[in-house]
Structure 1
Amino acid sequence: MVKHVLELYENGSGQQVNFDKSSLFFSSNCSQGARDCLARHLNIPQGRGFGKYLGLKSEFGHSKKEVFEEIREKVATCVHGWAENFLTMAGKEVLLKAVALALPTYMMSCFLLSQGVCEDILRALASFWWGSQGTRKGLHWAKWKKLTQRKECGGLDFKDLFCFNRAMLAKIGWHLLSQLNSLLHQVLQAKYFPNGSFLEAQLGRGPSWGWRSMLKGRQALMAGLRWRIGDGQSVNVQRDPWLPMPYHFKVRTPSPLLPKRVSDLIDPILRQWDVHTDSGRDGLLSSIAYGLWRLWKCRNTLVFEGTTVHPAEAVEFMYKQHNEFLQTKEQGTETTPSYGVGGVQPSMGTQQWSCPPMAFAKINCEGAWTSQTLRGGWGWVIRNASGVFKGVGREGGVRCGSAIAAEAEALRAGLCAGLDQGWQRVVLEFDSKLMIDMLTGAVVLTPGLKV
């Protein structure tokens, strides 16, 4: 069977296998009888491994240190063999960049080097650069990280092996994304992502070290990956990176006004960006209306209450209310926040969080208790009228007698935190109906609790 496959390969490729230069390599699961039988029929000697290819071992074991140790020793031997006493600093720089830092390039383009190996290589390079030789240690005037910076930033433009390693692996990821018909892509797709793409692939069962390294490089690739817009049919406006902006390439502030696909923003006839869509025009008009209304509310708050609203909070609150209005309009219903007696707002199931009135802070409290250990815990969150986070706290593993006691402690902790921050008017929100009835006087206080 194996010989027939080799014959098919020869007929299809036009290349003939040289059996005189070939050897057989078997896994440990193959019996000795099967090995001898196959070697006898093919007339090929058995070998202990594939040997090396471009200075790198072809097979990997459980210990990666043995595989990467060779490249570390090669760099160290190369550096220690140079007569650094007869070299100027410029000569050292040329040798390090052109020879020493180039030695592990092929290995780093295939596999992720361990952190220990990279540190050993950098340690040897730094010792050579600062004049260490034998037992004499040179004075290191700057960290190696400083030397890896660009020359205009005060460094010497040496390679950062950690970043360079991941950049080389990211290059393989880009090859998998752009060359879908390549042999490498077809082999990896058949094993690791048969029903998806490389960007969606998981680690899988029994992955090789090469595949693990590619997934590490994918993280660096996705940090700078963005779509180049054609017809825009496959690109999501708010989720996918497609904007020509540095670092993130995504829409920073999601909005229900935006369409789902980028193709909805393109004129299908003129093949240009459509800046006159109905949704964009209506959204612009409604945004202007809400902005003017919010300016009027801020003016009234200053005139009648003497409270100055920060411009950033006013804009954020305007945007939040505008989104709530649009979402309610799409659902066809209107919701108005309702507040209970004494500023207590009970939580109703999965009701969404709503902002308190202006100049108020909302404190969300929650307590938990278990009867097996008679211990409980609680937490609280404070946000202002614009929904801006102001503080959070928690405590756990405290001994208490009941669940209502834990709820009361959560309420107390939240109120104390609000007083410490200087809030005079607050809205409390929690999910204990019994505690709400106690605070409003609907039921008698539980013995042991004080308000």
Structure 2
Amino acid sequence: MGALKSPGPDGFPGLFYHKYWEIVNIVVFNTSRDFHSGLVSIQALNQTHIALIPKIPNPESTSHFRPISLCNNSYKILSKLLANRMKVILPTIISHKQNAFVPDRQIQDNILLAHETYHYLKLKREGDNHELGLKLDMNKAYDRVEWDFLEAALLRFGFNQGWVRLVMACVTTVSFSIVLNGNDGGFFKPNRGLRQGDPLSPYLFLIISEVLSLQITRSIYDGGLTGVKLTRSCPVVSHLFFADDALFFLKATLQNCTSLDRIFRVFCLASGQLINYDKSSIFFSPNTPQQLQTLMCELFNINLVDHPGNYLGMPTIWGRSKSEALSYILERVNRKIDGWKQSTLSLAGKEVLIKSVAMAIPTFPMSCFKFPASVCDQINSALANFWWGYNENGVKLHWKSWNVLCQAKESGGLGFRDLSSFNTALLAKQCWRILQEPNSFWTKVLKARYFPNCDFKDAVKGYRASWSWSSLLDARDIIMKGSSWQVINGTDINIWKDNWLPPPFEGPIVPSVPLLQDTPTMVCSLIDWDRNVWDLSHINQFIDQDVCKHIGMIPIGDGSGSDRLVWPWNTNGVYSVKSGYHWYHSRKFKAIPNNNHHSHQASTLFWKLIWSMNTIPKIQNFFWRAVSKATSTLLNLYRRRLAASPMCPLCSSDEESMEHILLLCPWVELVWFGSPLGLEIDKGKVTTLDKWVLDLLATISSKSERKRLITMVGFFCWAIWKARCSFIYQGVEVSPTKTITMALSLMNEFFSVRSGQQTCSVVNTGSNYWNPPPIDYIKVNCDAAWNSTTCRAGLGSVIRDSTSSLLGGLARPTSCGSALIAESKAILEGVKLAKDLEVRKLVVETDSKVIIDNLRNPSTSEDWRICPIIRSIRKLSSSFSDIRWEWIPREANRAAHIAASLAIGAVGLSRWATQPPLPLVRVLRNDGLPCPPNATD
């Protein structure tokens, strides 16, 4: 529920329910219960204001307004409950010809299919097979839905009578009041229509549109209609729906057009829909005779066009000049910038606007098409000019290139997106979907069109390929090089051709010596399934020992299931644009020569300190400019031949570098000494500003004190800089006392505001002591110790009952690629131990919350790195009548921790029942638990 969205007639916004939920939740729960039981009418809750939003700058008639319904949030809660339940089943009842509001379907599916189909029509210049594309616009589609038709459709789709009653109650009990000039004009009741603003409306309109979709599909199946096939093996493309935007593709014959027109008339008569002929259009393939085109346009009463226009906000057909076609993107960015120029914004404020607004403008078209480099450069130039600012002579000096600003903040940049890299990362998302959704309709069309006899990874551009396909191929390398195969059974992974080693390895294994003819080629041949371990004896001679070591640490499951492609840079193994961009851009930037190789580069540690500083964003931004030599000091200006002398105007004794301004100028020494920090600047030790800050922090061991110190340094540096600028540009004499007062005042003001925004939250961190399990249950505590240098790990498990008696335990040494893998292996060993002891009811405890989340919610929290182990654990869990997964703090898991610590230095497996190791005995006794004595105790 949107906190600040416009409220309905009752005046209560979403923020009211957020803030006072503890007070109103009982009323909401009771109302929802009574509504679902049919005990209460929601007519009073369903009063709705209509706000008229202009579609054009100067509206002159009612058709120039878009009516938006402002429902009461109390009603929206009830409606949202129904919508959330309905959304789950939509993929099973809505065909792939509709992609709006259906989970796991995207608007890009329709755009890519429309682009491919219109591209096919545009190129069809010869032959007797004439085809057309019909773009249909429905007039006030939501407002014209007949309620009896909606109810009949819901029942026909198989919805329960009770469910349909609830939905129709939401639809039919509405009453409207139109708001004009801030005043409502009284309520009236409609007889049809769906509200734009009701959470249910989009899903109900999908049901209405699906009726039309089924009619067309049935007519094609019966032979009454013939759709378009891009190739002989391609699925028929007959129609594409996205909400109320509809496209139809047919063979251009009188029979087709007559049948489609009849379907339109029947559907409109039953549903209440009305075709807007003025906004609809027909586009024919160039080989269609002019006489036939005219005849069909008269039959539909729709205009003939040479260009289909836009579909879902983007052109359906692009001309030869892509730069010219995309000029509207640059115009939109420039319009935003022109509006911002009038505001007095700090560089930090500009950074927010660029990242959140300007860089979001090209995102949508970039997700489907590869922008020419010239377009990206023009947008980058406009954004760079805005960020550095303007003066009376034009654009201000750019102290750093845009490439530097596009680096990550911890690498010395500002984290702006490099649009070319971002464009590629967005397109790579579609490539990932092609690989992961081979049965989706749009993927089947692309496969039949461009790679019918091979996989996507081996596909080529082909003859007269569309722009969208060419764009996808440009981005394919991100997926092919950045993804990795996860070993489940190893039958689909080639040892020498596929990427299957986890990071930091990238790319296929390169043999150190030439392979022999009988050398194994599939990963499954390297696994000893009897012992469930790696057997690398067949390839040891061909690969380096370091590679062997890392292969041996890859987790092996039980062999059930198929190998899968994962994106190793996300914990869930699924490609995301964010991780794809960082992966691609970091490698792209490494390939760019560094023109500043002679200049000092601040460390990653310093940048992390600056951007985590608890201060005003403009001070963080100032620190970046100061250390990056991106400020107008006289020394920097002199080096660019923009100043006559580099000498400091305040003391005239040294060059005015940033270190001199903030640390070394005589008057500044008084500021630092008189500040609460009481610093005496040692001029001989000051080399660069970032090194001085790091050296200063190195003298303090407390983390909180370091945080307080860096914050105070930031405020004082800012105050010194402002005093220097006032002297340069306004002639105000510098004063150490006033500068100290300014810094402290600004700091106090900042923290007084921040303290008012702090909210206290109570977090249940759990007990710090071990607690016995319930009666009839057995508890196993699991933990792991891992050495990142040697990759050696120790697995520890301890089993106790409800009387706190020790039943057994183990300590096993092993090798693992990460601490997370070691923790999951420890749980696997613990569950195996419990099974061996014939436990029936088990509680599993560990201090790894990630693993507990994976075990509790495998569908939403699955971590690909431990997926095979988690599956093995869950398979073993079927051996117990009941099993519970519990997270505990590390302090309450001391027994398992000691067992793991003993294992990491051991030679082999150690199990015990009556005589645990001495360190473990001490831990158990400290917990106050009865424990058998150790043999050496």
Give the TM-score normalised by the residue count of structure 2.
0.28
Distance in structure 2 (CA, Å) of the matches to 1:174 and 1:42:
40
Mapped pair 1:9 → 2:217: yes
Kindly indicate whether the alpha-carbon contact (under 8 Å) linking 1:224 and 1:247 is maintained by their aligned counterparts in 2.
Answer: no
**Residue 134 (structure 1) shift:** 7.2
Within 5 A, what are the aligned runs for 1:196-207?
Answer: 196-207=454-465
Match 1:259 to one of 499, 505, 520: 520
Instruction: Note closer, same or farther for the CA distance 1:32–1:58 as it changes in structure 2 (3 Å cut).
Output: same
- How far off is 1:131 after superposition? 0.6
Q: Where do 1:347-386 residues align within 5 Å?
A: none
1:73 equivalent among 324, 328, 331: 331
Could you tell me which runs of 5 or more consecutive residues in structure 1 were left unpaired when the two chains were aligned.
Answer: 289-451
1:84/1:128 contact within 8 Å kept:
no
AA aligned to 2:294 is: D
Quote the offset at 1:264 in angstroms. Answer: 0.4
Which residue of 215, 232, 248 corresponds with 2:473? Answer: 215
Q: 1:5 to 1:224 in 2, by over 3 A?
A: closer
More moved, 184-193 vs 242-251? 242-251
1:25 corresponds, among 277, 283, 291, to 283
Deviation of 1:201 after TM superposition, in Å, equals 0.7
SS at match of 1:177: helix
Structure 1 residues 238, 268: closer, same or farther in 2, change over 3 A? same
Measure, in 2, the Cα distance between the counterparts of 1:170 and 1:59: 22
Residue of structure 2 equivalent to 1:148:
406
1:156-195 CA-to-partner distances (Å, cap 9, x unmatched) read 1000111101111111100000001111110101110011
Q: 1:245 to 1:159 in 2, by over 3 A?
A: same
Identity of aligned residues (%): 38
Question: C-alpha deviations, 1:126-167, integer Å up to 9, x for none?
Answer: 000011267522011111111111111111100011110111
Change (3 A) 1:130 1:196: same
Deviates further, 118-127 or 14-23? 14-23
Aligned pair in 2 of structure 1 residues 139, 14: CA closer, same or farther (>3 Å)? closer
- Pairing 1:53–2:311 present: yes
Superimposed CA distance per residue, residues 28-47 of structure 1 (whole angstroms, 9 cap, x where no aligned partner): 33332121112223343323
Tell me the SS of whatever aligns to 2:357.
helix
**CA distance in structure 1 between the aligned counterparts of 2:334 and 2:399, rounded to whole angstroms:** 21
Alpha-carbon deviation of 1:105? Answer: 0.2
Pair 1:117 & 2:378 matched? no
Residue matched to 1:274 = 535
Q: Amino acid of the residue matched to residue 176 of structure 1?
A: I
Three-state SS of the structure 1 residue aligned to 2:284 is: coil
The change in CA–CA distance for 1:134 and 1:100 in structure 2 (over 3 A counts) is farther
Q: 1:134 to 1:102 in 2, by over 3 A?
A: farther
Amino acid at match of 2:216: L
- The separation in 2 between residues aligned to 1:221 and 1:70, in whole angstroms, is 30
TM-superposed CA distance for 1:7, in Å, is 4.8
Q: Mean alpha-carbon deviation: is it higher for 67-76 or for 94-103?
A: 67-76
Runs of 4+ in 1 over 4 A off after TM superposition: 1-7, 10-19
Cα distance change, pair 51–135 in 1 and its aligned pair in 2 (3 A): farther
What are the residue-to-residue correspondences of 1:276-315 with 2, within 5 Å?
277=537, 279=538, 283=541
Amino acid at match of 2:406: T
Structure 1 pair 5–244 and aligned structure 2 pair: CA distance change class (3 A): closer
Q: For residue 82 of structure 1, what is the amino acid of its counterpart?
A: W
How far is 1:117 from its partner?
0.5
Q: Which amino acid aligns with 1:272?
A: V
Q: 1:226 to 1:5 in 2, by over 3 A?
A: closer
Measured at CA, do residues 236 and 141 of structure 1 come closer, stay the same or move farther in structure 2, by a change above 3 Å? Answer: same
Q: 490, 503, 523: which is aligned to 1:245?
A: 503
Q: Distance in 1 between matches of 2:392 and 2:527?
A: 68
Equivalent-residue separation in structure 1 for 2:447 and 2:466 (angstroms): 14
The one of 228, 233, 241 aligned to 2:486: 228
Of 96-105 and 220-229, deviating more is 220-229
3-state DSSP of counterpart to 2:484: coil
Tell me the residue number matched to 2:773. none
Does the C-alpha gap of structure 1 residues 133 and 217 become closer, same or farther in structure 2, counting only changes over 3 Å? farther
Cα distance between partner residues in 2 of 1:216 and 1:149: 22
Instruction: Assess, with a 3 A threshold, how the Cα gap between structure 1 residues 111 and 134 changes in structure 2: closer, same or farther.
Output: farther
Quote the Cα distance in structure 2 between the aligned partners of 1:135 and 1:47. Answer: 47
SS in 1 for 2:425: helix
Equivalent of 1:127, from 371, 378, 385? 385
1:42 equivalent to 2:306? Answer no
C-alpha distance in 1 between matches for 2:362 and 2:240: 35
Cα distance between partner residues in 2 of 1:187 and 1:54 = 20
Q: Deviations over 1:314-341 (max 9, x none)?
A: xxxxxxxxxxxxxxxxxxxxxxxxxxxx
Q: How many angstroms apart in 2 are the aligned matches of 1:227 and 1:5?
A: 39
Contact preservation (8 Å) 1:170, 1:221:
yes
Q: Counterpart of 2:497 in 1: which secondary structure?
A: coil
Q: Does 1:190 align with 2:398?
A: no
Q: Give the CA deviation at 1:56.
A: 1.9
Distance between the aligned counterparts of 1:172 and 1:91, measured in 2?
Answer: 33
DSSP 3-state at the match of 2:394:
coil
Report the Cα offset of residue 54 of structure 1.
4.0
State the shift of 1:269 in Å. 3.5
Offset at residue 245 of structure 1 (A)? 3.3
Aligned-pair Cα RMSD in Å: 3.1
Query: Distance in 2 between the 1:32 and 1:87 partners?
Result: 58
8 Å contact 1:84–1:131 — kept in the other structure? no
Is the 1:241–1:249 Cα contact (8 Å) retained in structure 2?
A: yes
Q: How is 1:171-186 mapped onto 2 (pairs within 5 angstroms)?
A: 171-186=429-444
d(CA) in 2 for partners of 1:244, 1:172: 23
Residue 55 of structure 1 deviates from its aligned partner by: 3.1
Give the equivalent residue in structure 2 for 1:103. Answer: 361
Query: Shift of residue 49 of structure 1?
Result: 3.0
Aligned CA distance change for structure 1 residues 220 and 14 (closer, same or farther; 3 Å): closer
Gaps of 5+ in 2: 1-130, 135-211, 222-238, 242-262, 265-273, 546-937
Q: Is the 8 A contact 1:223 1:247 kept in 2?
A: no
Kindly provide the amino acid, as one letter, of the partner of residue 141 in structure 1. Answer: W
**Structure 1 pair 28/86, CA: closer, same or farther in 2 (3 Å)?**
same
Using the alignment, how far apart are the partners of 1:220 and 1:165 within structure 2? Answer: 12
Distance 1:247 1:280, change over 3 A: closer
Q: What amino acid sits opposite 1:261 in the alignment?
A: M
- Return closer, same or farther for 1:182/1:125 CA change in 2, 3 Å cut-off: same
Distance, in Å, in 1 between the alignment partners of 2:506 and 2:426 is: 21
Question: For residues 247 and 142 of structure 1, do their structure 2 counterparts lie closer, same or farther at Cα, with a shift above 3 Å needed?
Answer: farther
Any idea what SS the aligned residue of 1:25 has? strand
Structure 1 residues 148 and 196: alpha-carbon distance in aligned structure 2, compared to 1, 3 A threshold: same
